[in-house]
Amino acid sequence: MKDLNLVHLNGLRAVEAAARLGSLQAAADELGVTAGAVSQQIAKTEKQLGRTLFERSPKGLVATSFGESFLPRLTGGFEALDLAVGSARRRDETILTISVAPVFAARWLVCRLDRFAERHPDIRLRIDATTALVNLEAAGVDIGIRVGSGDWPGVTIEPLLEQEVFPVCSPALAEKLKRPEDILSLPAVLDGRSMFSWEIWLGQVGLSGRTMTARHVFNDASLCLDAAIAGQGVMLAWQTLAGYSIIEGRLAVPYPVRVKTGFSHYFVTPPSRRDSRTVAAFKTWVRDEIAGSIRALGFS
């Protein structure tokens, strides 16, 4: 491509746009510059080529005999470049990259993936399970699900589910719980990284200021849930964490009181992209699955 190195690319763009659109002003509008700048770029390019491309007339630009043969080839070249750049920007819509917290992946998503595959056999999911607040655009993530207040910068958010918390424990321990104050006699399994404390639920049932006796403290909610399933204590859980184990009968909900934490689950997407077919399909499926699990739990 030694010949191409002899001519500035911006000049060729100005020449091509002016020839295709028929005027300096139209070319300037497309390129985001002034008509004078386009005229200067054309003059420089003609000088670099050593050939005149346009005749200036009262009606505007008129291609010379050389220009009539040269300019269509130039447009064809830029069309090929445009297709090449477009192919690099297009994403494979058969693969959907999802960013979720490991606890959401393990306790809600993975056990339902077969149902997604049945509904959308043409879509493959690539799951990035992380607690990091990843830059979706830079990481190539199509959609994420996060829990919090929804004030994350650099993403488009869409509410999915308000978080509610409630005690869960093994069915055997649940038999000991008749009145709210009975829960104080059981050991608590605590999540050391939780965004809320037992006070949020105890205050709702008239036990504000009382404390739970901790048996174990973990730094992962999924481990807390395993401990609760094993009968090691009672845990303050939420819908997407404990729902599947409750439906399976491995966990019991001893009290009907559920308390909103002020946090929610949100879909998050890169702000530069509109929802693709695969993103829209995933959102619909998640909403359907959550609605179905809430009904199965008997939560209104």
The answer, as to whether pTM is greater than 0.85, is: no
Predicted confidence at residue 89, as pLDDT, reads 53
Predicted confidence at residue 293, as pLDDT, reads 95
Predicted confidence at residue 86, as pLDDT, reads 58
User: What domains can you pick out in the chain, each with its CATH number?
Assistant: 4-89 (1.10.10.10), 92-300 (3.40.190.290)
Are the CB atoms for 183 and 257 separated by under 8 Å?
A: no
Predicted confidence at residue 1, as pLDDT, reads 61
Query: Residue 27 has which token pair?
Result: 């070319």
How confident is the model over 79-92, as pLDDT tens digits?
A: 888 766 655 555 66
Predicted confidence at residue 58, as pLDDT, reads 74
Predicted confidence at residue 6, as pLDDT, reads 74
Segments of the chain scoring below 70 in pLDDT: 1-2, 83-92
Q: Which residues contact 217 (CB under 8 A, 6 or more apart)?
A: 190, 191, 192
Are the CB atoms for 203 and 194 separated by under 8 Å?
A: no
First to last CA, the chain: 68
Q: Which residues contact 240 (CB under 8 A, 6 or more apart)?
A: 104, 107, 108, 161, 265, 290
Q: Do the strands 213-218 and 187-191 form a parallel or antiparallel pair, or are they unpaired?
A: parallel
d(CA 148, CA 193): 13
d(CA 216, CA 50): 82
